[in-house]
Amino acid sequence: MIHSAAEGINTVLATVALTLGFGALVAGSPYEDIPEQDLPPVVASLMPADDARIDAVTVARWIRDRKPGLRLVDLRPAEDFEHFHIPTASNIPLEELGSHGISDQGMTVLYGADEEQTMRGVFILKALGAGSVYYLGDGVGLWLTQIINPTLYQQPTFEEQLQFEVQLEIAAYFGGLARTNVPRSEGYGESAEQGLERTMRRGCAF
């Protein structure tokens, strides 16, 4: 059998690919092993502990780092969930939460449409005796304002600047789009819906 030069190169390439591929099989996951953190225990009353209320940046980091045992639950109605939800979240509408229950393994992060719906969900889970329950204080809106559209107002304080940079880092991972130099009078300025549309840029950027 005659081997041409091209065939020789191809054999080398194939061997390298196979070796590296087989190595990958042995090596397993390229994501760094994330050490299990000591989770702050939520006090066993119906009132959640102060530190159970977390911000969107924390949740975003947990998702990004693929935190073991993390379960993200969206309490809003199915149609809202389908329109938009935080990546990796599953949908258990508030009405079904009581009957659905939730595993006491791992940790649960709840969020609803607003603070009220979110808090109702937290109380239901606490009453059911769930262990580690965290919640996004202001509901899904917090995700949109912190991760999808981090906003820096005009003449920001040092505090705001710092917070903005933290958000920016994680927002990039979730395809968020930052806005800077926003007039303070404008407030957040746009609805969650509008903010969502803006993320299309990253969503279909390729």
Partner 1 sequence: MNFTPASQAPASPAPASATNARNYVNPYLAGVGIGLMLLAAFVLVGRGLGASGAFSSVVATTVSATAPGHAAANPAYAGYLGDGTVHPLRDWLVFEIIGVTIGGLLSAWLAGRLRLSIERGSQITDRARLLYAFGGGTLMGIGAKLARGCTSGQALTGGAMLSVGSWLFVAAAFAAGYAAAPLFKRSWK
Partner 2 sequence: MNAPWLGLGTLSVDQGLTLALLIGVGFGWFLERGGLGNARKLAGQFYLTDLTVLKVMFSAIITAMLGLFWLSKLGYVDLTLIYLPPTFLAPQLVGGLVFGFGFVMGGLCPGTSCVAAASGRIDGMMLLVGMLFGVFIFNEIYPLFTEFYASTPLGQVTLAEQFDLSHGLLVFAIVAMGLGAFVMAEYLENRNRN
From residue 175 to residue 194, the character string flagging contacts with partner 2 as x (rule: CB under 8 A) and all else as - is: x-------------------
Structure tokens belonging to residue 159: 């505090």
Longest dimension (CA), the chain: 79
From 155, 148, 127, select the one nearest 192 (Cα to Cα). Answer: 148
Per CB under 8 A, which of residues 84..143 are in contact with partner 2? 84-85, 87-89
Residue 35 contacts which entry, partner 2, partner 1, none (Cβ below 5-8 A, type-dependent) = none
How are beta strands 70-74 and 151-153 bridged, if at all?
unpaired
Q: Does 158 bind partner 2 (CB under 8 A)?
A: no
- Are 56 and 142 in contact by the 8 Å Cβ rule? The answer is yes
Q: Which residues pair with 27 in a beta bridge?
A: none
Pattern 131-170, partner 1, x by CB under 8 A: ----------------------------------------
Binding site for partner 1 (CB under 8 A): 6, 9-10, 13, 172, 177, 179-181, 197-201, 203-206
